[in-house]
Amino acid sequence: MLQAEPPPAVAPAPAPAPPDKPPEVVLVSRDSHSDILASRDTPLPLIKGRRTEDALLRQTLFLTATLTVVRPAAGPAAAEQTLRWTYEPYLQRQLCFTSMTGQFSCAVAEVEALTETVSGEAPLPLAPVAATPEPATPGQAAPVQVKAGPSPEAEDARTAVVAALRARADTLFDDDRRLELDPILKAAGVSVRKIAVSAKAPAKRVQAPGS
């Protein structure tokens, strides 16, 4: 007696995806920039047997600041805003050489993130803007223009991380060379005549990478 084959298995229809949760905040503005905190150029007279070559190790310590202002999505446009900040330090190294003909060239710069990243947020007070408002509708008061003021908490956080990094700049540069460059020179049988140099702290702003 023939046995009927079982009916083919049918997978149940997937459950509908839950609706997207509406955003809790609305982006008002975002700014990202980098400030150079310290830099050091170290001459490296390279020696291998009877051969010599002039090299230069360029190291830069910089801080990338990302400042984002948001406000509640459900509130009015003039609702209290919140500043969210992130301060990320980086160390950049670049090895340069001077040829026998005097031509100066540099390898591609390498950038490494440091661990002293600082993040936080704080409400931004709203203050009236000293500007000429749009003409008011007859019988109605003129609208008051407002903007977010500065954040003392964000400035305090930046001041603290900048001071700590500048105080450690020479140590960071020394450790970077010892861990990243010296092993390469040693493996190649190259020695370096020592020259004492120290970090300097320029006040300069540059555009953040990728912004």
Domain-embedded: residue 76: yes
Q: Domain range holding 188?
A: 25-54+62-125+151-195
Q: What is the mean pLDDT of residues 72-82?
A: 76
Domain count, the chain: 1
Q: How far apart, in whole angstroms, are the C-alpha atoms of residue 60 and residue 93?
A: 7
Closest to 60 (Cα-Cα) out of 194, 156, 201:
201
First to last CA, the chain: 76
Is 44 part of a structural domain of the chain?
yes
In this predicted model, what pLDDT tens digit does every residue of 39-52 receive, in sequence order?
A: 999 998 888 888 88
**CA quadruple 203, 153, 88, 116: dihedral positive or negative?**
positive
8-state DSSP, 140: S
Tokens, residue 139: 């019988």
209 lies in some domain = no
136 inside domain: no
**Lookup: tokens for 71:** 């406000």
Please report, rounded to a whole number, the percentage of residues in the chain having pLDDT higher than 90.
41
| CA 28 – CA 40 distance, rounded (Å) | 38
9 part of a folded domain: no
Instruction: Look at residue 191 and tell me if it is in a domain.
Output: yes
| pTM score, whole prediction | 0.68
